Amino acid sequence: MMYVMRKTTPNARSAAKDATHERIVSVAARAIRRSGYDGTGVADIMKEAGLTHGAFYSHFASREAMLAEAAGKACAESAAGVAEVAAGAPPRMALKAMLAAYLSRGHIEQLEAGCPLAALGSETSRQSAEVRRVVTRHIKATIDLLARQSPDWGQRGAHERALVTLSIMVGAVVLARAVDERSLSDSLREAALKHLTSIVH
């Protein structure tokens, strides 16, 4: 019996490469939140993705390029999660629902799937311009999203409240994850939630 070998079309090869690229970026997006930028190595990412180290450079020009894409993926996942919470909230309750989800015990414990600002904020200033640009865009988009929940959106007050709200949210999560006492961790996030809930409209 004779077997006929099917040729792989260029489109199929391109789709396979895209899928592999996305897998690497997804693994890296989890890794940077879990281990930090400096703790994320190319060899470990490729191994976790089930690929050889040598295949890396067919997908990225450099480690920094991979980190930038990973940061973008982490930011996109975070934004999608927030949007989902907001969409599922009753009318005029989106901001309170977003605050409750962000400052929840579940978010504190989901380090590698949580907000990249809380996981990586202190490291970002030492990263490449490309990484910082990605994170800056995400911060600005998040500020805008928070401001849009205010009845006076478009006014200076709404923008300033959004700046303060984001700063408190991220800071509370950073500190709640840093301490080694569960009760203090809960107190930090609960106090932040109580304060922010009291000042939102």
What local confidence, expressed as pLDDT, does residue 6 receive?
53
Return all residues near 186 (Cβ < 8 A) that are at least 6 apart: 105, 176
Predicted confidence band at 195 (pLDDT cuts at 50, 70, 90)?
Answer: very high
What local confidence, expressed as pLDDT, does residue 113 receive?
93
pTM of the entire predicted model: 0.86
Predicted confidence band at 201 (pLDDT cuts at 50, 70, 90)?
Answer: low
Q: What is the mean pLDDT of residues 63-82?
A: 95
Return all residues near 69 (Cβ < 8 A) that are at least 6 apart: 25, 28, 60
At residue 131, does pLDDT exceed 70?
A: yes
Inter-residue contact 176 to 185 (CB < 8 Å): yes
- 157: its two tokens: 């007050």
Return all residues near 185 (Cβ < 8 A) that are at least 6 apart: 108, 176, 177, 179
At residue 30, does pLDDT exceed 90?
A: yes
Asked whether residue 164 is domain-assigned, the answer is yes
Asked whether residue 20 is domain-assigned, the answer is yes
Quick: pLDDT tens for 149-192: 888 887 888 999 999 999 999 999 999 999 999 999 999 999 99
Check which CATH number belongs to the domain holding 20 and give it.
1.10.357.10
User: Would you tell me the crossing angle of helices 182-199 and 156-178 to the nearest 10 degrees?
Assistant: 170
Average pLDDT, the chain: 91
Q: What is the mean pLDDT of residues 27-38?
A: 96
What local confidence, expressed as pLDDT, does residue 125 receive?
94
Count CA atoms closer than 13 A to 47's CA, side-chain side: 6
Neighbours of 95 (CB within 10 A): 23
Quick: pLDDT tens for 84-118: 999 999 988 999 999 999 999 999 999 999 999 99
Domain that holds residue 46: 10-199
Q: Report the alpha-carbon angle 167-168-170, nearest 5.
A: 70
Asked whether residue 3 is domain-assigned, the answer is no
Helix, strand, or coil (residue 39): coil
Inter-residue contact 52 to 46 (CB < 8 Å): yes
Asked whether residue 5 is domain-assigned, the answer is no
| Cα gap 152→159, rounded to integer Å | 9
- 93: its two tokens: 């309750």
Sign for the pseudo-dihedral over CA of 82, 85, 90, 95: negative
Inter-residue contact 186 to 105 (CB < 8 Å): yes
What local confidence, expressed as pLDDT, does residue 157 receive?
86
At residue 59, does pLDDT exceed 90?
A: yes
Predicted confidence band at 7 (pLDDT cuts at 50, 70, 90)?
Answer: low
| Domain tally, the chain | 1
